[in-house]
Amino acid sequence: MKRIVKIEGLDCPNCARTLQNEINKIDGVKNAEINFVKSKISFESEDVDKATKDIVNLTRRIEPNATIVLEKTNKNKKMLILDLVFLVLGVALGLISLLVSLPTWAFWIVFVASALLLGYKTYLKAVLLLFKGVVNENLLITISVAGAAALGEYMEALMVIFLYTIGKILEKLAVDKSRKSIEDLTNLQPEFAVIVKGEEEIKVSPEEVQIGDVIVVKPGERVPIDGEVLEGNATLDMQSLTGESVPVSIGATQKILSGAIVLDGVLRIKTTEEYKNSTVSKIMNLIENAQDKKSKTETFISKITRWYTLGIIVLAVLTLGIGWAITKELNSSIYRALKLLVVSCPCAFAISVPLSYFSGLGNASKNGILIKGSNYLDALSKINVVAFDKTGTLTTGEFQVEKVECLIGKYNSEDIIFLASLGEQYSLHPLAKSIVKANKRELKHIKNVKEVAGEGIYYKYNKNNYFVGRKNKQEHVAVEVYENDVLIGRIFLNDTIKATAKDACLQLKYMGIRTLLLSGDNKEKVEAVGKELNIDECHSELLPQDKFAFLEECKKDKKNFVGYVGDGINDAPSLTLADVGISMGINGSPASIEASDVVLGDDNIEKIPHAIKISKFTKKIVWTNIIFSMLVKVTFLVLSLVDVASMMLAVFADVGVTLIAVLNSLRALYYNPKKKLN
């Protein structure tokens, strides 16, 4: 049986990985995973109650500032206040111990009390994890504080733990900021749905709503299920879904997505999906699972930090031994080794790299781009070829009347559309719906309507016999209208190109990315769309297996890193094969969404260059943090070894670098992908 519990106060990705490893060692616990961004632990067990208790006890032992909670609390806020109170008290006692002349016994009581108040969590965690065989930065700081105190460097001992604790508090605030931006997206989940049964309105959970039920949504409420508006007009806040802040107007017959907030008006909606398949549920699932797949950079950093700390301790011992052997001065050799421990803390790497990716994923989500993991966020930056499906991807997939050809003088274009709509109003064919939508007159109910599959609609109106359909083979998409077996007009329809398609393709070209169009449609239509959008290569009349084979061939050239964009079931194989598969979130089939790595929440393909820009910017920040942290640490490491830098400067180097890296990571959260990439 699987269970998910909330964990509060866990604000270090490295600590989360350590805790996850220890939880998986508990008897009866399997497949335990910690979602750092969502602050959740998922695990499997035959006895979940016992397993939960064991996890609670383990967490209490090795993560004193983290707590497993089974109901909503405000523990994080209380813990922050308590940390600040202890910090102030610790500083006050430290100043007393350093500035006031006290008897030796009194000095040590006040000094130790100050050191404990400033860093008791750090010391406790270091000891508890050491018993578990885990060595991390907490142990480095603990040794440094104890060593400095033993050498009589009391002020420096307190400064080490004071600055380290301040740094951890600021890190926590930065992590919470990034985490909240992502968690805000999960507030899309509606708490209830109101089903209309006759004159009665019944409040139920969204999971209870069936396809075809009629629900009502009032001002201030969130739409719980995807559907079609039956009655009412309203303005919707779609920002959580699409990233666009401008409200959208909606009315009868229009599709409406779950997660949107009704700002005014009352809507009656006929549901077209179950909750589990609705837009808001898809978004929730994608966000929940986004942290399961980590980038190579993030995985590498997490792996080396496990051994890095132990290596630093060994290096410090060697430094002490070599220094003592050469200088014969034990105290200065110990002091030099302690400075090495402080400077070499891996905090900057351990926190800034995952935080950069969290911020990048959060930024993408805010802009309606759902990326299934930081490895895919990383992969987006490498794309140099983007292959598009046509229908439903570059085009709307909804036909519109392009022109009307009148073959009888007494009828004009409006007459032909009206006569066709009289019969087409009874058809479910996509072309029929488009013709009825173009009609401007009031339609009357007619009798003797007969639809023949593959042909069209036969009906009678004003004592005349009519037929709407296609009797003659044509290159263009056209519907013929016959009156008493005489062809009186043709209605030509066209699948319109998405309004954002041209800008998307132009942006990709500006970024140096080659574009391809792979379609099963005929050559003439495909080349027309390709020319309109200025696409580099067009390939027509391709079956799904042909697209797959084309991408395989394209990927044989190792220089090509391919993104494929599609929306249908037939696109699923190509989405899986591509280095990055990108699907449509609204009109995309469940198979294509499942097979893809990136989902465009509002089907807006202009979000593709936006996603690539966010990816490139995030990757730039990650490597800036790594290189900057490494350069500063190496510089101060050398200065410490040659006794130029003091312990105080070593602490500033560690804490300062960490804070700069954290603040730099948060830039990925606020980067605007609509601007040109720097």
d(CA 607, CA 230): 30
Q: Which amino acid is at 427?
A: S
Residue identified by tokens 């105080």 is 648
Catalytic residue among 389, 567, 597, 602: 389
Residue 597 DSSP code:
S
| Residue 559 CB burial class (10 angstroms; 0-12, 13-18, ≥19) | exposed
Contact (CB, 8 A) for 355 and 666: yes
Residues 6+ apart with CB under 8 A from 220: 261, 262, 263
Structure tokens at 375: 């490895």
Q: How many residues does the chain have?
A: 678
Q: What is the largest CA-CA distance in the chain?
A: 117
d(CA 427, CA 453): 10
Bridge partner residues of 495 (DSSP): 399
d(CA 131, CA 127): 6
Number of C-beta neighbours around residue 204 at 10 A: 14
Helices (H), 394-543: 413-424, 430-438, 501-510, 523-533
Query: Helix (H, G, I), strand (E, B), or coil: what is residue 71?
Result: coil
Query: Helix (H, G, I), strand (E, B), or coil: what is residue 335?
Result: helix
Contact (CB, 8 A) for 223 and 269: yes
d(CA 454, CA 566): 27
Q: Classify strands 385-388 and 234-237 as parallel, antiparallel or unpaired.
A: unpaired
Report the candidate in 142, 173, 616 with the shortest Cα–Cα distance to residue 351: 173
Angle, to 10 degrees, between the axis of helix 137-150 and the axis of helix 154-186?
A: 160
Catalytic status, residue 213: no
Catalytic residue numbers?
389
